Amino acid sequence: MRKLAVVAILFTSTSVSAMAAPFCLQITGAAPMCMYADGNQCQQDANRQNGACIPNPAEMKMPSSRIGEYCMMLPIGFTHCGYADGNACARDALEQHGICAKSAGAIPPQVPDPFVPNAGR
């Protein structure tokens, strides 16, 4: 029985350490710190340190969706794109303990042409 308990402890400790965290804290001038399993905790630390919470490039691929500008990414690896509004995406991500990121396929905002009458007004 004791051997079984020791094997179980070793198995769980190695499997937990082998799992990479899905979210990284990125601060300007430093390497990303990929140690967050909870998007809310990552975002709190990012706000406190004037950084950004980004998906771990080793764990998740940044989605390239043309359906919406923003994508919600959850810790389990699920990604839902289709948000036109970043605030709605961030609100849903907060409830699900994920993060909201700009889609890689999003079209960049167009700058109004200053030579066109009523451009952007």
Mean pLDDT, range 34-50, rounded to an integer: 95
17-40: per-residue pLDDT in tens? 445 899 999 999 999 999 999 999
Of 111, 100, 23, 91, which Cα lies nearest the Cα of 68?
A: 100
What is the residue extent of each domain of the chain? 20-102
- Please give the Cα distance from 73 to 105 (Å, whole number): 15
Of 107, 99, 98, 108, which Cα lies nearest the Cα of 67?
A: 107
**Which pLDDT does position 67 carry in this prediction?**
78
**Whole-model pTM above 0.75?**
no
